Structure 1
């Protein structure tokens, strides 16, 4: 999500508000402390943002194992 957020030029609170999570959730996910558990509507919102900047799911980094 960090890659997407940076391409959009958004802050953590902006991204969190758009996809319906807290700033803390975005921060923890970006630092690798937490994996997102999103509802379908939230995934659709992420897809919309990715399309805005010409990204696909393959452009996102794989999570650490």
Structure 2
């Protein structure tokens, strides 16, 4: 699997310079997610699977 080069910080992570944010990157048909404080540990998924997860989480009552 290709290693991502361009990581994007989540807009919900705030504007600080600390290492407490979620980062995303894409390579071909895969989405890569990681926490900035442990960048060597990555989660890999597809856009379809990630979209399904996000829809499910949004649909849950708070």
* TM-score above 0.5, yes or no: no
> How does the TM-score come out when normalised to structure 2?
0.28
CA radius of gyration, larger in:
2
Structure richer in strand, relative to its length? 2
TM-score (norm 1): 0.27
Specify which structure has the bigger relative contact order, considering alpha-carbon pairs within 8 angstroms and separated by 6 or more residues: 1
